[in-house]
Amino acid sequence: MKFLCNREKLREGLAVANGVIPAKSTKPVLENVCLVATDTGLELLGTDLEVSLRYMIDDVEVSDPGTVVIPARVALDFIRDLSSETVSMELGDDENITIQGGEDSCELVTVDPDEYPVISRFDEDGAFSVQGGNLTRLVGQTAFAAAREGGRQFRPDPQQRGWRDYHGHSCQVARLPRRADRERWESPEPDSSQRKRPLQFRPYPRRVFWR
């Protein structure tokens, strides 16, 4: 495998992938990122077996297509410190990959791609788009209703044009208005009078009186 890629685009993709890839895992292969170079571009795959990611970089010159699995954080740290505009990666005969950026280079040990978990293709049927700021606002408005222990769930609610958060005892729904001329969600910036913290109800122990 051999390709040439813009350094900043590759750095951004690795940064996003590292947000999903665990720093430490009982399965060491999950600490790696899978790079798939094809004629259409470079795809980065990452997973912690609960959340999976596919990140596509289109502007890539692929000389030799292939797949390689490398340490995610080591690759990100090295590429972040490079000053060159482009980065090349080439898989050698010893199954080690060489990352070259200007006069700087490093060699990383790879992992057998067959050991990496299979990440299914995402079905776009029923998918929707939402601006990042709007999604952050929706989660912020519903997070207090989720349980603090494991199992908290956030679910998109396209029919209600909002975000639903619950843990079995309470439920909070946040909604965004939909513009008539678009299918994507839009939300105007709230004014100061609307920026209020949601009410939080704290249960108190029941008191029993005996006569």
The residue-averaged pLDDT of 25-40 equals: 94
pLDDT at res. 122: 73
| Amino acid in the structure at residue 24 | K
pLDDT at res. 153: 55
pLDDT tens-digit map of 140-186: 777 766 666 555 555 555 554 455 554 555 555 666 665 544 444 44
Return the domain boundaries, the chain. Answer: 2-115, 132-189
> DSSP letter string over 153-175?
EEEEEGGGTEEEEE-SS-EEEEE
CA angle 150/155/159 to nearest 5° reads 165
pLDDT tens-digit map of 58-113: 989 999 999 999 999 999 999 999 999 999 999 998 889 999 999 999 999 999 99
Is residue 208 predicted with pLDDT exceeding 50? no
Fold for domain 2-115? Answer: DNA Polymerase III; Chain A, domain 2 (3.10.150)
pLDDT at res. 151: 52
